[in-house]
A and B are shown apart, each in its own frame.
Chain A
Amino acid sequence: MEPIEIRFNIDWPGFSLAVDEQLPGRGVTALFGHSGSGKTTLLRCIAGLVRAPKGRLVFQGKVWQDASTWVPTHRRSLGYVFQEASLFPHLTVIGNLRYGQKRAPADIPAEQRVSLDQAIDLLGILPLLDRKPDRLSGGERQRVAIARALAVSPRILLMDEPLAALDLARKQEILPYLERLHDELAIPVLYVSHAPDEVARLADHLVIMDGGRVLASGPLAATLARLDLPIRLGEDAGVVLEGRITERDTRWHLLKVDCGGVDLWVRDTGVPTDHPVRVRILARDVSIVLAPVAGTSILNTLPARVLSLGEDAHPALALVQLQAGQSTLLARLTHRSADHLGLAPGLPVWIQIKAVALL
């Protein structure tokens, strides 16, 4: 899949955006940043809802914007999910779904077409079809909005914090559907979020934004493990590892996950064995010892090697990048401890991981 070329410069009073990137043409790309970092504006530029002067946007070989071209939003082959579901209140759920579906161009190849049935099935909204939007819960509304965006058979799906307006329970209700999209749809997804847990769960590629600029852009695991960036994530600094479940311990209700040569034990959530999974390990949950410790309650203790040391947000704290198997992990400890242990690149150590979250 061809990458998406974007170049936008906006200079509004109190806000600027300067982005010149290539975004991957497949998988889920998270645009991550605090509010005001420009991530939503960037998404709106890509959708054509905001027209950045002198911008350039090339999607799958088609120029959507450059000095002489401007393709208006309704001629761009995209689906857009807004933060608030923004369903049309005068139409039923099925009316909302049909609105975009019947306006999708007739020349979309059959294999790229998303049928209404598929969209309804993917988001599990069959029982809701005849209701008006005001008879739906917040989570249901957002699922309908996602199905509506898919029903136009887009070549790219843009999602602007689709979960931000929902409470935790509603989020948990929708996340599995988003994961299904990730697994079952071939189209690229741009996912704007300020929630590290959503990014860790859904993204393949991570673009970190701050002050209207791109701080970092790269594959999720590698970008999260960078030492120069986690500072921005504060308490959420940590890594995501891809793995596979290799063993189920029925006595203790635990699963063994093989993450690139590292075996981790996690709580059994009922995922079938051999299923690909993601685990998230926060830097604050990783501690370092020089030799394996006997008599510890910590389940996951692994040999590792120090790669490098870096500064954390607070002057007392250090971030240590470690290699275990083929995986890179981060540990947060005080400079005093680092000095005390004599940590230096290349030093073999043992790491104790207090918590591993199966995503």
Chain B
Amino acid sequence: MFLTDTDLQSILLTLRLASVVTLILFLVGTPVAWWLARTRSRWKGPIGAVVALPLVLPPSVLGFYLLVTMGPNGPVGQLTQALGIGLLPFTFWGLVVASVFYSFPFMVQPVQNAFEAVGERPLEVAATLRASPLDAFFSVALPLALPGFLTAGILTFAHTVGEFGVVLMIGGNIPGVTRVASVQIYDHVEAMEYSDAHRLAAVMLIFSFLVLLALYLWRPNPKNT
């Protein structure tokens, strides 16, 4: 094996983090995307902007605020302490929370677009065929928006894998707990271990390319009405 144990550990941690975050975002992002796609509320604009914020915000800014909020004196930190969970920063679940925020738009936006493309009509048809709104969501909206979900899942997963700044702010560099692959590469470079950095960087490069290749090669069938 040409990767060291710590390299491998960091890769497995990265994959675990990305999987957990993607799973959580499927559950959290879908209702938000559904609401954004269908609401006529005047809050649509502001909420949409907040969802998109991580796209433009420097990761260090997002990480900083999360660190303060989840820290011992922050509201979330006090809550987690009161609940007996302890503090989230510098733990795996702290990374998960931070990544959920950081990758939020990568889940919400493709799913929202997919729901918007489905449109009102299939849901009206479902209602005339005696499907309740919840029934219609699962039996019509979800299957029709499936390509959007796959895109969103791949993007979210890949984006979480590529995370660096937020991880560093919120998780630091604890082996096996918060040291993900991107941080591991940074460490190698800092320590002048260029050949180690090369190997891990190459793995990341190939992984990222394959993910994007899959995304671009895979084209859903054009929708038929």
> In the complex the two chains form, what is the Cα distance from A152 to B129 in whole Å?
7
Nearest CB in chain A: distance from B101 CB, A: 33
Interface size, A (range): 20 to 34
Given contact pairs A86-B121, A86-B122, A88-B125, a sample of 15 additional A-B residue pairs in the complex whose CB atoms are under 8 Å apart = A49-B127, A49-B128, A72-B132, A74-B127, A74-B131, A74-B136, A82-B121, A87-B225, A88-B140, A89-B223, A99-B139, A100-B130, A103-B130, A103-B135, A152-B129
Nearest CB in chain A: distance from B91 CB, A: 42
With A86-B121, A88-B122, A90-B143: A103-B129 Cβ-Cβ less than 8 Å: yes
Nearest CB in chain B: distance from A24 CB, A: 22
> In the complex the two chains form, what is the Cα distance from A75 to B128 in whole Å?
9
Asked whether, in the complex, the Cβ of A47 is within 8 Å of the Cβ of B225, the reply is no
Asked if B124 is at the interface of the complex by the 8 Å CB criterion, the answer is yes
Asked if B73 is at the interface of the complex by the 8 Å CB criterion, the answer is no
Task: Find the residue from A47, A79, A82, A88 having the highest chain B CB count within 10 A.
Answer: A88
Nearest CB in chain B: distance from A302 CB, A: 47
Q: Which residues of B contact A105 (CB under 8 A)?
A: 130
Asked whether, in the complex, the Cβ of B130 is within 8 Å of the Cβ of A89, the reply is no
- Contact among A73, A88, A89 with B128 in the assembled complex (CB-CB below 8 Å): A73
> In the complex the two chains form, what is the Cα distance from A74 to B127 in whole Å?
5
Q: Which of A51-105 contact B (CB under 8 A)?
A: 72-75, 78-80, 82, 84-90, 99-100, 103-105
Main secondary structure of the interface of B (DSSP, over half): helix
- 29 of the cross-chain contacts (CB-CB < 8 Å) are A47-B128, A48-B127, A49-B128, A72-B127, A72-B132, A73-B127, A74-B128, A74-B129, A74-B132, A74-B133, A74-B135, A74-B136, A84-B121, A84-B225, A85-B225, A86-B122, A87-B225, A88-B140, A89-B144, A89-B223, A89-B225, A90-B143, A100-B129, A100-B130, A132-B224, A133-B225, A134-B224, A152-B129, A152-B130
Nearest CB in chain A: distance from B123 CB, A: 10
Asked whether, in the complex, the Cβ of B128 is within 8 Å of the Cβ of A149, the reply is yes
Q: Which residues of B contact A88 (CB under 8 A)?
A: 122, 125, 140, 144
The interface bits of chain B over 178-202 (1 if a CB of A lies within 8 angstroms of the residue's CB, else 0) are 0000000000000000000000000
Q: Which residues of A contact B224 (CB under 8 A)?
A: 89, 132-134
> In the complex the two chains form, what is the Cα distance from A74 to B135 in whole Å?
10
Nearest CB in chain A: distance from B107 CB, A: 22
Q: Which of B204-225 contact A (CB under 8 A)?
A: 223-225
Asked whether, in the complex, the Cβ of A74 is within 8 Å of the Cβ of B130, the reply is yes
> In the complex the two chains form, what is the Cα distance from A57 to B128 in whole Å?
17
Asked whether, in the complex, the Cβ of A86 is within 8 Å of the Cβ of B130, the reply is no
The interface bits of chain B over 53-83 (1 if a CB of A lies within 8 angstroms of the residue's CB, else 0) are 0000000000000000000000000000000
Q: Which residues of A contact B130 (CB under 8 A)?
A: 74-75, 100, 103-105, 152
Asked if A148 is at the interface of the complex by the 8 Å CB criterion, the answer is yes
Q: Which residue of A lies closest to B143 (CB)?
A: A90
- Contact among B124, B129, B135, B140 with A148 in the assembled complex (CB-CB below 8 Å): B129
The 4 closest A-B pairs by CB, nearest first: A100-B129, A134-B224, A80-B128, A73-B127
Task: Find the residue from B122, B136, B140, B225 having the highest chain A CB count within 10 A.
Answer: B225
> In the complex the two chains form, what is the Cα distance from A73 to B140 in whole Å?
16
Q: Which of A143-165 contact B (CB under 8 A)?
A: 148-149, 152
Nearest CB in chain A: distance from B223 CB, A: 6
> In the complex the two chains form, what is the Cα distance from A86 to B127 in whole Å?
13
> In the complex the two chains form, what is the Cα distance from A114 to B87 in whole Å?
62
Q: Which residue of B lies closest to A103 (CB)?
A: B130
- Contact among B124, B132, B133, B144 with A90 in the assembled complex (CB-CB below 8 Å): B144
Asked whether, in the complex, the Cβ of B129 is within 8 Å of the Cβ of A99, the reply is yes
Asked whether, in the complex, the Cβ of A78 is within 8 Å of the Cβ of B143, the reply is no
Asked whether, in the complex, the Cβ of A86 is within 8 Å of the Cβ of B129, the reply is no
Task: Find the residue from B126, B128, B131, B144 having the highest chain A CB count within 10 A.
Answer: B128
Q: Which of A103-119 contact B (CB under 8 A)?
A: 103-105
> In the complex the two chains form, what is the Cα distance from A79 to B139 in whole Å?
19
> In the complex the two chains form, what is the Cα distance from A79 to B127 in whole Å?
10
Q: Which residue of A lies closest to B121 (CB)?
A: A86
With A86-B122, A87-B225, A99-B139: A78-B144 Cβ-Cβ less than 8 Å: no
Q: Which residues of A contact B143 (CB under 8 A)?
A: 90
Task: Find the residue from B122, B144, B223, B224 having the highest chain A CB count within 10 A.
Answer: B224
Nearest CB in chain B: distance from A70 CB, A: 13
> In the complex the two chains form, what is the Cα distance from A166 to B124 in whole Å?
21
> In the complex the two chains form, what is the Cα distance from A79 to B131 in whole Å?
12
> In the complex the two chains form, what is the Cα distance from A47 to B144 in whole Å?
24
